């Protein structure tokens, strides 16, 4: 029997190996984001032909594995540029799920297509031109007809002129985030995470901004 990834063993393992410095907020937000992708998007995919999900910048692979566990009928691909972390994810999770695989590559080099593309807290770690190239690729190539893109990013505070978080080089203000995504996706829905890691309605005071986007108005998420 496959061990349930949502159990304590999963959480403690991820915290011990990959999130030793993470606060309770960061751990809660990490797991809540994948749960909300599942509840808001994946559970509502139309039945029929087998669907595919790409988790871009999947890190240790636990989020991709969570999706694979919850949705055995979906094919899940986790992608990350770090070859070592992909090797860990492949060894740890692939033997447990037939519908899961990982691949080491840059986010702008992905040639696969999918029905859902997920990229959580990724874009703030790359240069702006890389972010724009990625969004263009998702919109023009990666998404199958009717597909959806789910992306999140920490909000740059109004009184901050520069990003002060370690490793973050491309945070956006609340309205910048919406404007950038609108260049590539005509249909968008937003929600947020507050400073306690809880999901809240879309608000300019969000700690973490989340967008669910569709390129095709006829298949609106609304």
Cα three-residue angle 44-90-29, rounded to 5 degrees:
50
Instruction: Give phi and psi for 99, each to the nearest 5.
Output: -100, 20
97-to-6, 8, 75, 93, 152 alpha-carbon distances in Å: 14, 19, 10, 7, 26
Could you please report the per-residue DSSP string of 186-218? SEEEEEEE-TTS-EEE--TT-SEEEEEEES-GG
Is the model's pLDDT at 216 over the cut of 70?
A: no
Alpha carbon distance 38, 120 (integer Å) = 13
Please name every residue paired with 79 in a beta bridge, in sequence order, or none if there are none. Answer: 56, 103
Looking at residue 32, its pLDDT comes to 85
Alpha carbon distance 20, 34 (integer Å) = 20
CATH code of the domain in which 119 resides: 3.40.50.150
Could you read off the pLDDT of 110-132 as tens digits, one per residue? 999 999 999 998 888 888 999 99
Structural domain of residue 196, as residue ranges? 8-219
Residue carrying structure tokens 């694979």: 68
Is the model's pLDDT at 17 over the cut of 50?
A: no
The reply to whether 1 falls in a domain is: no
The reply to whether 91 falls in a domain is: yes
Could you read off the pLDDT of 144-156 as tens digits, one per residue? 998 999 999 988 8
Mean pLDDT of 178-183: 95
Mean pLDDT of 66-89: 93
Could you please report the per-residue DSSP string of 145-191? EEEEEEEEEEBPPTT-SS--STT----B-HHHHHHHHHTT-SEEEEE
Could you read off the pLDDT of 155-170 as tens digits, one per residue? 887 665 555 566 777 8
Alpha carbon distance 41, 34 (integer Å) = 10
Mean pLDDT of 52-66: 92
For residue 20, give both structure tokens.
């030793």
When pLDDT is cut at 50, 70 and 90, the band that residue 49 belongs to is: confident
**Lowest-pLDDT range of 10-14, 93-97, 150-154, 196-200:** 10-14
DSSP annotation of 43:
G
Q: β-strands 208-214, 199-201: how paired?
A: unpaired
Helix (H) or strand (E) holding 55: strand 52-56
The reply to whether 3 falls in a domain is: no
When pLDDT is cut at 50, 70 and 90, the band that residue 203 belongs to is: confident
- Residues 97, 68: contact at Cβ < 8 Å? yes
Helix (H) or strand (E) holding 107: none
When pLDDT is cut at 50, 70 and 90, the band that residue 26 belongs to is: low
The reply to whether 198 falls in a domain is: yes
Share of the chain residues as helix, strand and coil, in percent rounded to the nearest 5: 35, 25, 40
Q: Mean pLDDT for the chain?
A: 83
Looking at residue 4, its pLDDT comes to 36
DSSP annotation of 96:
G
The reply to whether 136 falls in a domain is: yes
When pLDDT is cut at 50, 70 and 90, the band that residue 30 belongs to is: confident
Q: How many domains does the chain have?
A: 1
The reply to whether 43 falls in a domain is: yes
- Which residue has better confidence, 91 or 14? 91
Looking at residue 93, its pLDDT comes to 93
């Amino acid at each position: 029997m496959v061990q349930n990834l949502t159990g304590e063993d999963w959480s403690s393992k991820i915290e011990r190996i990959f999130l030793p410095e993470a606060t309770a907020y960061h751990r809660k937000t990490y797991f809540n984001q994948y749960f909300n992708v599942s509840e808001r998007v994946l559970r509502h995919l139309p039945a029929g032909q087998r669907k595919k999900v790409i988790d871009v910048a999947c890190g240790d692979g636990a989020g991709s594995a969570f999706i694979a566990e919850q949705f055995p009928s979906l094919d899940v691909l986790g992608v990350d540029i770090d070859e070592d972390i992909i090797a860990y994810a492949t060894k740890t999770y692939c033997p447990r799920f037939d519908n899961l695989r990982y691949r080491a590559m840059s986010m702008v080099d992905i040639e696969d297509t999918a029905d859902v593309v997920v990229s959580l807290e990724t874009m703030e770690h790359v240069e702006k031109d890389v972010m724009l190239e990625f969004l263009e690729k998702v919109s023009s190539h990666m998404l199958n007809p009717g597909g959806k893109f789910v992306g999140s990013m920490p909000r740059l505070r109004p009184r901050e002129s520069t990003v002060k978080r370690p490793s973050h080089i491309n945070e956006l203000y609340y309205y910048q985030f919406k404007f950038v995504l609108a260049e590539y996706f005509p249909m968008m829905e937003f929600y947020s995470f507050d400073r306690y890691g809880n999901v809240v309605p879309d608000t300019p005071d969000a700690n973490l901004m989340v967008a669910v986007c569709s390129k095709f108005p006829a298949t609106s998420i609304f």
